[in-house]
Amino acid sequence: MKLEYKELTKNILEDENFLNLKNERHHGTNRYDHCKRVSYISFLLAKIFKGNVEDACISGLLHDFFQGESSYLDHPKTSRDNAKKYFHINDKEASIIETHMYHYALTKKCLPFINHDAKVNPKEFRPQYKEGYIVCFSDLLVSAFELGMFKVRYSICLYLLFIINLMRY
C-alpha cells in the first residue's frame, strides 16, 4: 500500500517548489509534513470508502500548497491556483482543494464570535465530491493531532524551564 502511495505522489513530493513547504511553519510542524499526513490519511479513507484514491491523495497533498501567511478563508484558493500552475491538476482535484476548509466555515457559522470580522457562507465551501469530504475530514483530524502534539511539547518545555528555574534556588 505504501508503494502505491509513493508511486502516486513522488512527482510532487520531490518537486522543488513543493519541497519549499518544509521551510513553512504550520501547526507546530512544517507545512510539507502536514500536507503529507493529510494526503496519506485521505489515501487510506478513499480506499475504505471506495473513492478515487488518486484524486484524494493528490488534492490532500496540495490542499495547503502556499508560501508565507494566508487567511483561513483565502488559502484554499491560493493553494488551488498554485496546484494548477505547478502540477496541472484536474477540475475535480481543484474543487477538493478549494473546499477543504468546509469544517472551518461550518464552525464559524455555528460560533460566529470566532474571527468575527471575516464573513463566510458555508455553501461556498461545501465539498462537491466524496473525496472533498475525505480531505476535509483528514485535514481536521491531522490538524487536531498536530496542535495537540504542539501543545504537549510546549507544555513540556514550560515545565522544564520551570524546574530549571526552581533548581537555581
What residues make contact with Fe ion under the rule CB under 5 A?
Answer: 64, 139
Is 51 or 80 the residue whose CB approaches Fe ion more closely? 80
Distance CA 163, CA 169 (A): 10
Q: Give the CA angle between residues 19, 22, 28 to the nearest 5°.
A: 155
The torsion region of residue 52 among left (phi > 0), alpha (psi -120 to 50) and beta comes to: beta
Is 41 or 160 the residue whose CB approaches Fe ion more closely? 41
Mind giving me the DSSP string for 143-157? HHHHHHHHHHHHHHH
What's the closest the beta carbon of residue 129 comes to Fe ion, in angstroms?
17
Identify the helix (H) or strand (E) that includes residue 119: none
Distance CA 75, CA 82 (A): 10
Is 69 or 169 the residue whose CB approaches Fe ion more closely? 69
Distance CA 41, CA 144 (A): 13
What's the closest the beta carbon of residue 28 comes to Fe ion, in angstroms?
13
What's the closest the beta carbon of residue 117 comes to Fe ion, in angstroms?
19
CB-neighbour burial class of residue 165 (10 A; exposed 0-12, middle 13-18, buried 19+) = exposed
Is 55 or 64 the residue whose CB approaches Fe ion more closely? 64
Is 37 or 129 the residue whose CB approaches Fe ion more closely? 37
The torsion region of residue 50 among left (phi > 0), alpha (psi -120 to 50) and beta comes to: left
What's the closest the beta carbon of residue 3 comes to Fe ion, in angstroms?
25
